[in-house]
């Protein structure tokens, strides 16, 4: 199943008079909207059991999600849980929190 199947879409016609659009006969693009997540509070995070993981060189959030949740598309749970939107915001050797109960993490963070 595509990860985009449940995503909302929006139309973008800002560039409709641009040469690239004209050359292709395009008037608008259908784009996926950015999902909205709430920023977890300290209480939200503390309500979820977690273990600490030492971030290593070569680690990626999607790889950690695949390793710990068996689903690389859940990388955003680790990102939200640690308030680190990308790997670039995590230092090598930094301890990050990995939620133990993914269902509860999705419920609290989603």
Quick: pLDDT tens for 53-102.
Answer: 999 999 999 999 999 999 998 999 999 999 998 999 999 999 999 999 98
Q: State whether 31 and 66 are in the same domain.
A: no
Cβ–Cβ < 8 Å for 97, 45: yes
Q: pTM for this structure? A: 0.68
Domain that holds residue 79: 42-109
Q: State whether 50 and 87 are in the same domain.
A: yes
Q: State whether 49 and 98 are in the same domain.
A: yes
Q: State whether 25 and 46 are in the same domain.
A: no
Q: State whether 26 and 50 are in the same domain.
A: no
Token pair, residue 103, equals 């269902």
């Amino acid at each position: 199943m595509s990860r985009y199947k449940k995503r909302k879409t929006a139309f973008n016609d800002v560039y409709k008079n641009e040469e690239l659009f004209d050359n292709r006969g395009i008037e608008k693009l259908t784009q996926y909207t950015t999902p909205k997540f709430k920023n977890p509070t300290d209480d939200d995070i503390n309500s979820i059991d977690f273990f600490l993981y030492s971030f290593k060189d070569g680690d990626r959030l999607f790889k950690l999600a695949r390793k710990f949740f068996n689903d690389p598309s859940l990388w955003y749970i680790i990102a939200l849980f640690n308030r680190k939107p990308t790997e670039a915001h995590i230092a090598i050797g930094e301890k990050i929190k990995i939620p133990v109960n993914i269902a509860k993490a999705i419920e609290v963070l989603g």
